[in-house]
Structure 1
Amino acid sequence: MPQLAPPLPYSSPASPWLQRLFKPFRRTGQRWRGGIKLADHKALSNQTPIQQIAVKGLRIAVPLGDGRRQVEPCVVAGQQVLKGELIGRGEPMSLWAHASTSGRVAAIERAYPADRDQPVPVVIIEADGRDRWIERQPVNTPQNAAELAQFSLQMGLIGLGGAGFPTGIKIAGSQQSDLLLINGAECEPFVTCDDRLMRERADTIIAAADYLSRVLEIAQVRIGVEPNKPEALAALNAAVAATGSRVQICRLPHRYPAGGQPMLVKSLSGRTLSPGMLPAEVGVMVLNVATLHALGRAVFHGEPLVSRVVTLTGDVDKPGNVEVPIGMPVPALLAAAQPRDQQRGVQVGGPMMGRELSHPNAVISKTSSCLIVRCDDLFPPRPPAGDCIRCNRCVDVCPMALQPLKLYAASQRADRITLQQEQLAACIECGACSHVCPSNLPLRDSFRDAKRELLAGARQ
């Protein structure tokens, strides 16, 4: 197991108010610079096992894409489908879509995924409540990277950590990798779906890691987990011991954003993932732990990706983690959590990198990891933004060694040249800069908007 340097003593800022606001980590003695300590609020939802939710009578809206890539439906209204049945397919390198429960196809229309701003085509299935699977035949286990890449696309596997990159495409580009890294950090506050998955299904995760390393001919496999998940660490270590696996279970630094891809690569390999570089360029393949679990279910049991674990937390009476079909209506999930008050809105994903629920009738997508019902105690109203005082605190905590104050000024001027020169594309949108800004500047949101504008300009 790689030995990680302990945190350095923290030198507090002059103001006690600022001292309560943030705790920056300096670059000396750390495997990666910057980052902040956050109250994790994970005990709200990680105390109980993953639960199932009844879907009978619900209209499950299975996305046929994520807004960037779509496939064509291969079912029609009125057709009966089984769970796992193919309902959408496209080009050879496209992600196939599958029915996430059994029932009748009611319509093919558009709906909002919970974590997207625009509606996408969906297949509406009226759930019959039986959750009947297709006949799952023994899988002809893929024996090389090319076979596994195609198989993963046909099984609809994507990154479940948030970015949603197709797993098959990642596998296809992994030929030069000599290190497989599994991201179990789950460093965002409130979110605990991966924690519970590691605690309860460690055997599948380790078996899938061993299988993937054999197929890709990668000798070294490391799973990184933050130390605030002792039960998950113990479960993974027990699974390794029980099977004689060579997978290494590693403790990551307990600071945000330890799960960011450049930070994870640095922590677990010592290699530097420079802005614009893909992990394969430094000989590394990275998968989220939930993605690896889904790969195991697909390879070992012939199950396409039709469900995911979602954290329900915040100002609710019944917090916890639930495994739900892809396309589950958000209102039905919130009803199960029993919100006390939704006037402050619902956050999708963690409070740092997540976003406000896109539409009140949105549905769970493959990348929807968490629903947080906001309240003033957990999400205090943000004070009005002031003027930048050039304190450099945003620079201190930026894990990508950027200059957020320069990027913010350039974004306000719509200065595309400066945004590119200051490497806006390297920003991972972790929000650490916004969190520590004493002037309450919306830094992260400004960078996110500026990226969209640059991309739109490049397409014109």
Structure 2
Amino acid sequence: MSRLALFSQPDSVPTSWLQRLIQPLQRAGYRWHGGIQLEGYKSLSNGSCIQRVSPTTGTLLSIPLGNGRHQATPCVNIGQQVRKGEVIARGQGHAPWVHASTSGQVVALQSAYVADLQSAVPAITIAADGRDEWMDDQPLLPPQSAEALAQLSWEKGIVGLGGAGFPTGIKISGARHPDMLLINGAECEPFITCDDRLMRERASEIIRAADYLAQTLSITQIRVGVEPDKSEAMFALKKAISEANSTTQVVCLPHRYPAGGQPMLIKSLSGRNLLPGMLPSEIGVMVLNVATLYKLGQAVFHQEPLVSRIVTLTGHVGNPGNVEVPIGMPVADLLKQASLREDHTGIHVGGPMMGRLLSHESAVISKTSSCLIARSVELFPRRPEPSSCIRCNRCTDACPIGLQPLKLYEANQREDKKTLQQEQLTACIECGACSEVCPSHLPLRDSFRDAKQMMSRSVAP
């Protein structure tokens, strides 16, 4: 039986059971400013179980050595045979270790385009042998201290899978005696359903990892935030909590984008305010995406490094769904499997709000590539040309951080760095809510991304 089959759950559950288990859910009692309602398009891809994709003989996997800022150092040579899970690069600085995501032969040490980055990054290319053969790891006892757990997560290459890719080892080692573990199961972006399916199918593993992490860090409260449109995920989590006799709480988040943004999630689940420039550890909480927590559990209990991730394939395709794919898999291969329609209008990586167009046709999946959306005229209508601002203030009303997007936009137009600092540009989470509600169709979110790059260049040595 495959590893995936061990976690399979039924696609549907009896309504009576749903009512019994979801009815007592704690609802988020703390409100946050702003946010918007969005059409979900979740049903395009969330109706079937996660399918595992294994590379066939000769498939070239280009495994990134980092996220563009920090890279691991290769420890293999061209021509070397490797097995799945074998260390192929050791972390330097803030870069976790990197592992072979399949078995085969190392054929190149060169740059590769990554799906969710604009530029190429150093990578190791492996020609798959078709066997997908794992290394033989000796069973180890789970780490009993925060220091040992941080080191393990570092060596197993665990990073945040919610989008940022922040090394989990740094987050664990930097914890300041938190009393709350907050698990992000919101997945509030339209189209994306990989975390939804993960919670439905592997809830017991998620809860086991949560209980272990809380015990190791002496955390007293565990809360999982889930939006109300994920009823089957809630059912699976509550069932796993009951079976494990866990004290974890499932909290129903506001059905409002961006409920999964870190400041909003913390506010909803704890009532605490994460102010601009602050780290969650400073207010006594640790926040992990549900997929990150799952992978941490796999590393702790099964010695598995992070060599694969779940990706949503959706949009203008004939075979939408969620697939578990090896890191470094060519995007083109996945789109072919999804039966990409010929009249698509482009490929979007990540959610439609915070994601971006595919950088290059030869790009590969990285640890932070959560979703591939085939665009169409119907799903992604052409955005009207920008017009003059009518001073309606809708962008300010929608901003979940409480910023004034128009002031930031105008300051960027005139390259006014002082005003950008005063108006807290760095606090912007680039959710795009302001752009979505703007009746003048101003490219607010894109302008803020450009402004951040301008500001970073001005302080670079």
Tell me, yes or no, if structure 1 residue 44 matches structure 2 residue 68: no
Q: Residue by residue, what CA displacement relative to the aligned partner does 1:70-102 show, whole Å, maximum 9, x if unpaired?
A: 011001111110000000003375300000000
Paired position in structure 1 for 2:180: 179
The match for 2:31 is 31
Q: 1:4 Cα shift?
A: 3.0
Q: Quick check: 2:26–2:249 contact (8 Å CA) kept in 1?
A: no
Alignment-mate amino acid for residue 40 of structure 2: D
- CA distance in 2 between partners of 1:164 and 1:41 (Å): 25
Provide the secondary structure at the position in 2 that maps to 1:104. strand
Runs of 5+ consecutive residues of structure 2 not aligned to the other structure: 1-24
Equivalent pair of 1:348/1:368 in contact (CA under 8 Å): yes
Distance in structure 1 (CA, Å) of the matches to 2:418 and 2:159: 33
Alignment of 1:360 with 2:361, yes or no, is: yes
Tell me if structure 1 keeps the 8 A contact 2:28–2:251: no
Instruction: Provide the secondary structure at the position in 2 that maps to 1:108.
Output: strand
Mean Cα deviation higher: 30-39 or 297-306: 30-39
- Residue 403 of structure 2 is matched in structure 1 by 402
Q: Name 1:13's counterpart in structure 2.
A: none
Aligned to 1:317: 318
Q: Which residue does 1:101 correspond to in 2? A: 102
- 1:293-318 CA-to-partner distances (Å, cap 9, x unmatched) read 00010000000000000000000000
| 1:24 match | none
CA-CA distance at 1:339 after TM superposition: 1.1
Correspondences of 1:190-269 after superposition (within 5 Å): 190-269=191-270
Give the alignment's Cα RMSD to 1 decimal: 1.1
**1:366 aligned counterpart, secondary structure:** coil
| C-alpha distance in structure 2 between counterparts of 1:440 and 1:175, whole Å | 43
Preserved contact between residue 102 and residue 132 of structure 1 (Cα < 8 Å): yes
2-structure distance, mates of 1:372, 1:364: 13
1:232, distance to aligned residue in structure 2 (A): 0.3
Matched pairs, number: 436
8 Å contact 1:2–1:268 — kept in the other structure? Answer: no
TM-score (normalizing by structure 2): 0.93
Contact 2:45 2:314 in 1 (8 A): yes
Aligned 1:65-76 pairs, distance under 5 A: 65-76=66-77
Please tell me whether the aligned partners of residues 93 and 153 of structure 1 are also in contact (alpha carbons under 8 angstroms).
no
**Does the 8 A contact of 1:81 with 1:103 survive in 2?**
yes
Aligned equivalent of 1:25: none
Which stretch has the larger CA shift, 414-423 or 90-99? 90-99
| Aligned match of 2:28 | 4
Distance of 1:177 and 1:68 partners within structure 2: 28
For 2:378, the aligned partner's letter is D
Residues 381 and 92 (structure 1), Cα distance of their counterparts in 2 relative to 1, 3 Å cut: closer
> Any conservation in 1 of the 2:183–2:289 contact (CA below 8 Å)?
yes
Q: Deviations over 1:136-168 (max 9, x none)?
A: 211232111111111111000000000110000
Q: Is the 8 A contact 2:62 2:329 kept in 1?
A: yes
Q: Residues of 2 paired with 1:90 and 1:353: CA distance?
A: 28
Deviations 1:252-278 (A, max 9, x none): 000000000000000000001111111
Q: Which runs of 4+ in 1 moved over 2 A?
A: 1-5, 90-94
Q: AA paired with 1:430? A: C
Q: Take 1:93 and 1:49, find their aligned partners in 2: how far apart are those partners?
A: 35
Structure 1 gap ranges (5+): 6-29
Q: Equivalent residue for 2:165? A: 164
Q: Secondary structure at the match of 1:335?
A: helix
Offset from partner CA, 1:41-82 (integer Å, 9 cap, x none)? 000000000002231121001111110110110011111100
1:55 aligns with 2:66: no
